[in-house]
Structures are given as C-alpha cells and as structure tokens.
Copies of this chain bind each other. A is one copy, B any other.
C-alpha cells in the first residue's frame, strides 16, 4: 500500500495533509508549504492554484508537525493564579487581543485553587515545550522556576508585579497606594484604616507589601499614626472586604473615618457591608480602592485606576516582537495609574 493511498484511507478521520494538497495540485510539498505560509519563491499562478485547492480540501497545517519542524508552536502561555478575578480576566482579554491579531494561540495555565498542584505544573509536561513565550500574571516565581524558565530561554514577562531578574509591567504600586492615601489625608481624614492584601499566600508576592509600606509612610509623613487595630487583611475578594468591615466594626474602641483598601473588590465588600450595617458611605466612612474594577463607577467607588488589559497587551506585544527577532523588545515598563474621585470619599464629619 502506498503512502498516499494509506493516507487517503484515513482522510475521513484525520485532516487533509500537505501531501494531499501537493498531490492534488501536482506540486511538491515544499511548494505547498511556501504557498500556504505566504513565503516568497512561489509563482503567483502556482500560489493561487495551491491556495484554491487547499481551501477546497479544507487543508490546515498540523500545529504539531510544524511545531516539531520549526521548534515554534505559535502559542504563548499565560500563567495565572486565578482567572475569575478582575485583574486576571482583564489581563487575559488584553493578551488575547494581541495574540489574536498576530495569529498566535493562547495556552492558559491556571493555578487557581489547585494549591500545590503548582509544583506539578512546573515539573510536568505542561508548560515546557509547548509554548514559545510565557506571560506571568501577578505571581511570585521561585528561584528554581526562574532558573528553569531562563534555561529554556523563552521570552518571559510578568504583568502586575515584580519578579527578580524578570522584565515586568505594572503600575508603580508605591505611588498608586500613596496617591490613594494622600487623597484621604488631603480631604481631612486622620483616622485611616488599612485593608491590605494578604501575603500569606505565595501568589501575591510583594505588591501587597509595597502598598502597605506606602500607606504607612504616607501616614507617618502626615504625622498620623497607623493603628494596629485598624489594620485588616483580605485576599482581594469581595467577601474578604465584607469580613474585614465586620471585624473592624465589631471591635471595641473608636472607628476610623476612612479606609484604604488595596483593591477595589475588597473596597466594594466594605461598602456593601457598611451599607448593610447602617454605616453611611461616605458620610460615616470614606472608602478608597485601587484598580477601577468594572463595577467601581456604578458603585461610586473612589479609586486609583489601572488597566491590566493594556498592560497585558503591551507585555504580549513585547513577547511577540522578541519572538519575531527584535531582541531587546522585552523590558520592564511602568504602566500609568490615576486617581478617580467618585462618591465613596468625602471629608470626615467628625473631623
């Protein structure tokens, strides 16, 4: 049985191969390969003929085969600790926009909820050898992991945080947090609570800490004393914001007049729970966040806005440029942030 008839037998099952197209067009596979990829060295007539036949036959190249031959998969990996949080889904959208435009695929590696599966992910067949570059979202990477990645020498950039020795794209977290706290101070608050992101989990590396430090230093600089009993921890979820508010308000002692939350999702949790408890925002409590979540405008949340989608889009563009041969395309860049004052903040009443 010849190779061709052999394939023809299977053609119903698997797809049409390059040989089928070549045979039908009466040319070699090399020519088909050039034609379908838009490479030069194919006469217009031949190309047209081949393209027509390829379309008729419904030919589409096997990514495994071309991947094997070229060492490139035309796929980039996106590594995220979650996908259903605002920052990550926004980033995904942004990355995908760029990838889509450049005809690249996107492989998602979600670590959410999997806990220690993380190790598995890095050791198993998953990440390696099936992507040309890696976009890391808001995650700390261990030394080993970085080593590993560098050894593979695939382009790598992290969005939304800093990882040593890696290019990163994100806002200036210190400045953003400082802007938020300054706004509170500027409008007269002195009793400002903090709802920071937890850094017990390895997923949220230094960003939470930077925001905490900014808060502390802004307070100190303004001659204010951060009170330990007004320092709450959350995990960037709405629910954690609700819980934090409850803890804060059930504690004995004086209440803050404002609260700086390290993320909008937590800030909204505070707002919703305050409402439920009959605490008025902003009359009794001013609330400020960071992010400008999709819901923030509607809720009236004052916040420091950032655009993770644009950050991820830029990061992806760099990755793709680097793959395209433009060495040095991948580099760190600071993304913009800006304070948006809405209705969740106002001067304190009992000032």
Enumerate chain A interface residues (CB-CB to B < 8 A): 13-15, 58, 60-65, 67-68, 71, 73-75, 82-84, 86, 89-90, 92-93, 96-97, 100, 103, 105-110, 112-114, 117, 121, 123-126, 128-130, 148, 151-153, 238-239, 242, 268-269, 272-273, 276, 294-295, 298-300
Contacts and interface: CB of A to CB of B under 8 A. Distances in A.
Report how many copies the assembly holds. Answer: 2
A73 B65 CA distance: 11
Contact of A60 (B63, B103, B129): B129
Given A63-B129, A84-B294, A272-B295, 7 more contacts: A13-B153, A15-B152, A60-B123, A82-B93, A83-B92, A106-B109, A269-B298
B125 A61 contact: yes
A334 B276 CA distance: 36
A65 B63 contact: no
Contact of A64 (B15, B73, B83, B276): B73
Given A68-B68, A93-B83, A295-B295, A130 B272 contact: no
Contacts of A103: 124-126
A153 B13 CA distance: 7
Contacts of A68: 62, 64-65, 68
A64 B105 CA distance: 14
B84 A113 contact: no
Closest 3 A-B residue pairs measured CB to CB? A64-B67, A84-B89, A272-B298
A63 B125 contact: yes
Contacts of A110: 92-93, 96, 100, 106
Nearest to A121: B100
B96 A130 contact: no
Contacts of A106: 107-110
Nearest to A78: B108
A13 B126 CA distance: 19
Contacts of A109: 105-106
Contact of A130 (B97, B105, B268): B105
B129 A112 contact: no
25 contacts: A13-B153, A60-B124, A61-B125, A61-B129, A62-B129, A63-B64, A64-B64, A64-B65, A64-B68, A64-B129, A67-B67, A68-B68, A74-B125, A75-B130, A83-B83, A83-B89, A84-B294, A92-B108, A93-B110, A97-B113, A103-B126, A106-B108, A238-B294, A272-B298, A276-B300
